[in-house]
Amino acid sequence: MRDRLQQCRRVIIKVGTSTLTHPGGHLHLGRMEALVRQIADLHFEGRQVVLVTSGAVGAGLGKLGLAERPHEVAAKQALAAVGQGLLMQRYEGLFGEYGLVVGQVLLTREDLEDEHRRASAAQVMERLLAWGVVPIVNENDTVTSEEIRVGDNDTLSARVAALIGADLLVLLSDVDGLYPADPHIHPGLRPLSVVSPDDDLDGMAGGAGSANGTGGMVTKVAAARICAAHGIPMVLAKGDRPGILRSIMAGEEAGTLFVREG
């Protein structure tokens, strides 16, 4: 099954807060550089890559010199307003070193659920990919209230994968994959290599993710099920592992592959 990943041409890569930021919430520039380098390699192999990224709030934290991530919704929205442009500026500079152009795509739940707005978003992303641009997607956190949010970038990335008919979704997180039980309670366990989203995975999913993130294993399993409904495989892997994207796309044993059998 992993050998088939070498043939994937349209790939969505989601990178989470835990990978992109330091424990205090500020952007981890070294990891951003490593991520961009790998995406550039995939691009020059002839693949179309869409990056779904967290990190706007972390960029805002760094710019304003705040010590910790706030809990108040309005404060997080304000930090996203400050940080989103800075995040894109950083990505633009990093991708520019490889001669690549990026395009910002900010989405809300309404953009993905309203028929006309969904079609418009798909057309824009198709045009960007046709031009060789790397679309960089995030939820429009500044204007989106809690009641109408997509809620987490795991779900957002799966819905984007379905929107544009991707061949693969890769979730880069702070875990090596899906474990059969909590590895903190049962040390020595190894992540599962291949699972079906149709299996009973909820007991393995556990609770929330990192302190700075919005998701956890529950949202990753949910993303895998969204992808499976559209025939799209998904890989969950550790974002700070050196060369992780190259390993996944080469069909090597890396992370957990979620794929529906048959």
Q: What is the pLDDT of residues 209-247, one digit of tens each?
A: 443 334 478 889 999 999 999 999 999 999 999 999 999
Give strand pairing partners of 168.
11
User: Exposed, middle or buried by CB within 10 Å (0-12, 13-18, 19+), for 221?
Assistant: buried
Task: Give residue 208's pLDDT.
Answer: 39
List residues forming the annotated binding site for ATP. Answer: 14, 173-174, 214-220
Task: Give residue 250's pLDDT.
Answer: 93
Q: What is the pLDDT of residues 133-174, one digit of tens each?
A: 999 999 887 766 554 455 688 999 999 999 999 999 999 998
Q: How many domains does the chain have?
A: 1
The pLDDT-based confidence of 110 (bands split at 50, 70, 90) is confident
List residues forming the annotated binding site. Answer: 14, 54, 141, 153, 173-174, 214-220
- Angle between helices 115-130 and 153-163 in degrees, nearest 10: 80
- What SS3 class is residue 257? strand
List residues forming the annotated binding site for substrate. Answer: 54, 141, 153
Give the span between the Cα atoms of 5 and 249, in whole angstroms. 6
Give the span between the Cα atoms of 153 and 239, in whole angstroms. 15
Closest to 27 measured CA to CA, from 76, 86, 99, 74: 86
Alpha helices in the chain (DSSP H): 17-20, 29-44, 56-64, 73-96, 109-113, 115-130, 153-163, 202-205, 217-229, 244-249
Radius of gyration of the chain (CA): 17
**CATH classification at residue 46:** 3.40.1160.10
Domain hosting 228: range is 2-258
